């Protein structure tokens, strides 16, 4: 009797572990199956066609892909230097007493649901962009900045964790030779933590490209490649969030799934690269 | 020599500035959330359901209840699966190739775009039925929850000293008893903290619910119907042109923010307390 229970417990737990794999494979398969009509109709040209006209049953993913790439790129350019700065501040500059509260505060920023960033962006940040840069305040620039604020704490926290892995003895040896803090940071800490820092940046990139709610509010949802980054645009998650429930017609529906599949593949590749190529050593909770 | 010192000071000043920028935005967003949220809070929020704009008796009761049900059902599905899978990795699979492969897969799932998970669940649980339903929303949230719980369980069970297991084996206990009575007990606090954090994480998710549980302006506890949630209500109300709806949106944001942040702080306190011991 006990043997049966023992074995069933083992199989049950093994089954749960396998379930994770099954879900991942099923997601790929279902997205592909649902996207099939669109894949057959538009093929690979879907990626470059910029016309999105549901009434004509013509669908091209270029505006959404363009928006995703540009908003993510903007977010990365803004967030990366600041996140590294924060990490340097937290590991090398701040007094012991300040490290924990500021570190905690930054991690709290990472816990705030992304929809709150989006709402704040719509009501408080978009008007500022409108005033400073023109346009109606909604568009790639606003989306990129709101996105950068959203990934900043996440990026800073893992960058800090990788910098923290530098052994004190290496740093102390450099100080003993008369190095300044900056010398130590650039010649000891950053080379030592390089893989972890790059990994955290790529991981943040993976988060940013799939992020929906922080950008849906401020993107404007216009299916056109905009002339300027202050004009309204769209991105893959924004298109999905706004149009999924309205999609009528099989081809419309399939095209949205095509976009979802593209997004899933991109983020899968990005996250896998970050995790398995760079972050192997720094296996840390987040 | 002097040049080095100047560069040093510039870099240190820039880093400090970065930290200030980060904190500035944190406080700005928190301040917005608190001031706007508190302004919009009243007893009405908890007594009345969402109503058309301009109505005096308008609140968030249905959305709050819906959110609790969705998160509750998601937890009921996701937590046991996550714990069992984590148990397998830590106690049976250990460092085998298969176990490490599952760990990798789960890590990828943890960062997968939530909107794609929503689309996936739509295809398997909404389209075949023909209408939005609460079950679909709960399943979408559960899919996001499993990898988080799996990771914490795996990590926490690993911290339990090997000797405890061996002592129990020596007394003739079968493996499942060792796991349930010794390992789980030893890792209890850590696992519970991980569960709390995973609940906080999925409670703030909107994207997986947009086209699974959708929204409902009426009070419902029926998971076969479309089910309202705070997050989706927030999205609909905040993007509407009506002042009173926008205010309700802020109230929803406030409730959600307070919940998520307090659970996070609670989790941190538990971990800290254990470390001190």
pLDDT given at position B59? 87
pLDDT given at position A285? 40
Residues of chain B with pLDDT under 50: none
Q: What's the maximum distance between 2 C-alpha atoms anywhere in chain B?
A: 74
Taking the CA of residue B257 and the nearest CA in chain A, the distance in Å comes to 6
Among the four given CATH numbers 3.40.50.10440, 3.90.1660.10, 1.10.287.610, 1.10.3720.10, the one describing domain A52-278: 1.10.3720.10
pLDDT given at position A231? 87
Average pLDDT over residues A142-157: 92
User: Is the CB of B113 less than 8 angstroms away from the CB of A114?
Assistant: no
Beta strands in A16-175 (DSSP E): 52-53, 58-59
Is the dihedral angle over the CA atoms B208, B212, B218, B221 positive or is it negative?
A: negative
pLDDT given at position B27? 84
Inform me whether the C-beta atom of residue B1 falls under 8 Å from chain A C-beta atoms.
Answer: no
Of residues B85, B120, B203, nearest to A20 (C-beta)? B85
Beta strands in chain A (DSSP E): 52-53, 58-59
The whole-chain average pLDDT of chain A stands at 89
Of residues B23, B113, B122, nearest to A263 (C-beta)? B113
Residue of A5, A7, A8, A16 to mutate for B, most B C-beta atoms under 10 A: A16
3-state secondary structure of B226: coil
Residues ≥6 apart with Cβ < 8 Å to A206 = A267, A270, A271, A274, B111
ipTM above 0.95, yes or no: no
Question: What is d(CA A22, CA B102) in angstroms, rounded to the nearest whole number?
Answer: 10
All structural domains of chain A with their residue ranges: 52-278
Residues ≥6 apart with Cβ < 8 Å to A54 = A247, A249, A252
How confident is the model over A17-52, as pLDDT tens digits?
999 999 999 999 999 999 999 999 998 999 998 889
Residues from chain A that touch B150, judged by Cβ atoms under 8 A, are 17, 20
Determine the straight-line distance between the first and last CA of chain B, rounded to whole angstroms: 48
pLDDT given at position A284? 45
Nearest Cα residue in chain A from B180: A9
Residue of A111, A138, A157, A217 to mutate for B, most B C-beta atoms under 10 A: A111
Alpha-carbon Rg of chain A, whole angstroms?
Answer: 23
pLDDT given at position A262? 95
- DSSP 8-state assignment for residue A94: S
User: Is the CB of B116 less than 8 angstroms away from the CB of A206?
Assistant: no
Residues 162-191 of B with CB under 8 A from A: 174-176, 179
Question: What is d(CA B214, CA B145) in angstroms, rounded to the nearest whole number?
Answer: 19
Average pLDDT over residues A231-238: 91
Please give the C-alpha separations between residue A209 and each of A70, A106, A180, A282, B202, in angstroms, as whole numbers. Answer: 10, 21, 38, 23, 19
Taking the CA of residue A122 and the nearest CA in chain B, the distance in Å comes to 9
Question: What is d(CA A149, CA A162) in angstroms, rounded to the nearest whole number?
Answer: 21
Helices of type H across chain B: 2-40, 44-47, 61-87, 97-110, 114-121, 134-159, 162-170, 175-177, 184-203, 230-238, 243-276
Inform me whether the C-beta atom of residue B96 falls under 8 Å from chain A C-beta atoms.
Answer: no
Residue of A5, A20, A114 to mutate for B, most B C-beta atoms under 10 A: A20
């Amino acid at each position: 009797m006990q043997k049966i229970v023992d074995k069933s417990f083992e199989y049950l737990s093994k089954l749960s572990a396998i379930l994770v794999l099954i879900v991942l494979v099923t997601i790929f398969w279902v997205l592909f199956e649902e996207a099939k009509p669109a894949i057959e109709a538009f093929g690979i040209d879907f990626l470059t066609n910029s016309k999105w006209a549901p009434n004509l049953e013509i669908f091209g993913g270029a505006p959404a892909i363009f928006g995703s790439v540009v908003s993510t790129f903007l977010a990365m350019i803004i967030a990366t230097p600041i996140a590294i700065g924060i990490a340097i501040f937290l590991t090398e500059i701040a007094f012991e007493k300040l490290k924990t509260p500021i570190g905690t505060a930054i991690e709290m920023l990472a816990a705030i649901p992304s929809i709150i960033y989006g709402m704040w962006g719509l009501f408080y940040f978009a008007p500022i962009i409108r005033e400073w840069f023109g346009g109606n305040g909604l568009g790639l620039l606003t989306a990129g900045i709101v996105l950068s604020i959203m990934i900043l704490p996440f990026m800073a926290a893992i960058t800090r964790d990788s910098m923290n892995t530098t052994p004190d003895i290496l740093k102390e040896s450099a100080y003993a030779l008369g190095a300044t803090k900056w010398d130590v940071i650039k010649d000891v800490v950053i080379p030592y933590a390089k893989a972890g820092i790059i990994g955290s940046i790529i991981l943040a990139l993976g988060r940013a490209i799939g992020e929906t709610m922080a950008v849906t509010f401020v993107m404007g949802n216009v299916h056109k490649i905009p002339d300027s980054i202050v004009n309204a645009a769209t991105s893959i998650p924004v298109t999905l969030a706004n149009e999924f429930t309205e999609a009528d017609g099989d081809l419309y529906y399939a095209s949205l799934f095509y976009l979802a599949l593209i997004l899933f593949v991109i983020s899968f590749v990005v996250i896998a690269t970050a995790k398995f190529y760079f972050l192997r050593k720094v296996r840390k909770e987040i | 020599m002097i040049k080095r010192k100047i560069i040093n000071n510039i870099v240190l000043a820039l880093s400090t500035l970065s930290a200030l920028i980060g904190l500035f935005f944190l406080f700005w967003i928190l301040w917005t959330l608190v001031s706007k949220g508190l302004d919009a809070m009243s007893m009405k929020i908890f007594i009345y359901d969402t109503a058309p704009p301009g109505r005096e008796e308008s609140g968030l009761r249905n959305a709050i209840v819906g959110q609790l049900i969705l998160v509750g059902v998601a937890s009921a599905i996701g937590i046991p699966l996550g714990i069992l899978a984590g148990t397998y990795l830590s106690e049976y699979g250990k460092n085998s190739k298969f176990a490490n492969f599952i760990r990798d897969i789960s890590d990828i799932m943890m960062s997968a775009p939530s909107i794609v998970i929503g689309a996936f669940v739509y295809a398997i649980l909404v389209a075949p039925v023909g209408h939005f339903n609460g079950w679909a929303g709960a399943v979408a949230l559960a899919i996001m929850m499993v990898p988080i719980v799996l990771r914490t369980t795996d990590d926490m069970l690993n911290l339990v000293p090997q000797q405890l297991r061996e002592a129990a084996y020596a007394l003739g206990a079968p493996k499942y008893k060792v796991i349930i009575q010794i390992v789980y007990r030893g890792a209890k606090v850590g696992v519970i903290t991980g569960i709390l954090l995973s609940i906080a994480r999925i409670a703030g998710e909107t994207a997986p619910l947009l086209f699974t549980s959708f929204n409902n302006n009426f009070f419902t506890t029926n998971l076969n119907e479309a089910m309202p949630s705070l997050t989706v209500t927030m999205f609909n109300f905040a993007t509407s042109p009506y002042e009173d709806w926008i205010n309700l949106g802020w109230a929803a944001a406030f409730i959600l923010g307070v919940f998520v942040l307090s659970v996070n702080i609670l989790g941190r306190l538990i971990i800290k307390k254990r470390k001190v011991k």
